[in-house]
Chain A
Amino acid sequence: MNKRTKLTIGIIAMAAAIVGINYTSGTLMAKTEGMKIFSYHADYKVYEDIEELENQSPIIVNAKFTGERETILGDSVTDFVPFSKSKVKIIKVIKGDLEKEDNVLVFEPAAIDSEKNEFVTVEGYNLMNEEGEYTLFLRDTPKENSYQIVGMYQGKYDHSINDNVKNRTFITDFEDATYDDVANEEIIGDNLNHFQKLKDKVVQKYNWE
């Protein structure tokens, strides 16, 4: 391979890295630079303790996100509330009718709208990532092999994040923030203290294996 060819390949590779690769489905992460955050409020059940959460969850598992995610967007922004279907691998079944090594779809109440460069979420829920080690509280949906996260942010806990949210400063005003500012957070917005209260109990009771 001569010098000119190597240089051309190098420039193309650099250009691809700089521009970023934008997918709304598949294994690759969406470009999030400068991505605006929209976190909306819902009317939902607030779980006061882990026992209530467990009672409402037919399935409790340790799981890892495989990296495969489909973003479900409407034809227009007013069509329906965007969400994601994320494939997870079951590492351990704590409760319910799933098996270790099963791959299932988990509906996440958040989505990256790459075309508009916007992250849309409900009650500050943040998407799973491949580094995370999750205890998930789930219930069936009518869709085959697909599960809903109970209580939204209340049903997903990352054992690989050990920082207590109370010890940190979080962005709660999203007007000037971008998704890159919060991408590695488990949860964003107003529900931090409530989330941490539940997480303390979850990690105490459910070990990651």
Chain B
Amino acid sequence: MRKMTSLVAFLFVASVFSIPVSGFQGKTNADAFWPGGGFLNNKYSKLTYSTSNAVDRLGYSRYVDDAINEFDSISDANIGFRKLSSGDGEMLSIVIDEKNSSEYARDAFGIMIPFKIDPKTTSYERASNYETWAYAKIWLNDYMMKQHKFTSDERNKTTIHEIGHAFAMEHQYDGVKSVMVSGQISYPDLQQLDISNLQWKY
């Protein structure tokens, strides 16, 4: 009886530690990405991007350069970038949110929105996160980051987070060690979970 009790207790403890608990282990592989979303996979080997003048003026160039380098440096992933001037047919634009008071409308530090081509007009139209994109734009909200007294590491994290969305990465659960968790978090680099997921997809 005593042996049986010990066995049951052992099996219980073993099962608790082996069952993935959402919010603790994080989303991996396909679960970490928006299904059907993103640019065509082969586009990420040379993702063209631009930054607005305000990115440089407000001191965000170093965060963008650091973030790009984070993704570019991932081993065993076909990821690369090419910087273009704004309006030169880039696939990804990174700008500062400061137009028409838009920066005051959202208590958020950054946002990425994807677009596709309207076949009738050939201009951009909104795309969902779950479609193939032709273009994506990241707005970094310097006003809100100042309101929340962001550190450099937190600015780094938001920039990497938004570029992560451009790679069709979904949000991770709170408490998971990942740049894809929402919030004011000091992750200056991609975390191991993020790197593994990007290696899986690309």
Contact = CB atoms under 8 A, between A and B. Distances in A.
B124 A107 contact: no
A149 B97 contact: no
Interface in A141-156: 141-143, 146, 148-152, 155
A107 B105 contact: yes
A74 B106 CA distance: 16
B115 A77 contact: yes
B49 interface: no
Interface in B136-173: 137, 139, 147-148, 158, 161-162, 165, 170-171
A84 B101 CA distance: 11
Interface residues of B, number: 39
B125 interface: yes
B108 A76 contact: no
A44 B150 CA distance: 12
Interface stretch (A14-22, A114-122, A200-208): A114-122
Given A46-B183, A81-B105, A149-B107, A41 B129 contact: yes
Nearest to B165: A41
Contact of B135 (A72, A78, A83, A141): A78
A83 B113 CA distance: 14
Nearest to A41: B171
Contacts, number: 116
Contacts of B184: 45
B137 A152 contact: no
A21 B162 CA distance: 38
A109 B101 contact: no
B108 A143 contact: no
B113 A81 contact: yes
B162 A72 contact: no
Interface in A80-122: 80-81, 83-84, 107-109, 116, 118, 120, 122
Most chain A beta-carbon neighbours within 10 Å: one of B102, B105, B165: B105
A42 B109 contact: yes
A23 interface: no
B97 A43 contact: no
Nearest to A151: B107
A77 B129 CA distance: 15
Contacts of A195: none
A79 interface: yes
Contact of B162 (A43, A74, A107, A151): A43
Given A74-B99, A81-B97, A81-B113, A116 B125 contact: yes
A180 B104 CA distance: 28
Nearest to A174: B128
A143 B105 CA distance: 11
B130 interface: yes
10 smallest CB-CB distances across A and B, nearest first, come from A83-B105, A42-B108, A141-B104, A44-B108, A80-B102, A107-B105, A109-B106, A80-B99, A42-B111, A43-B110
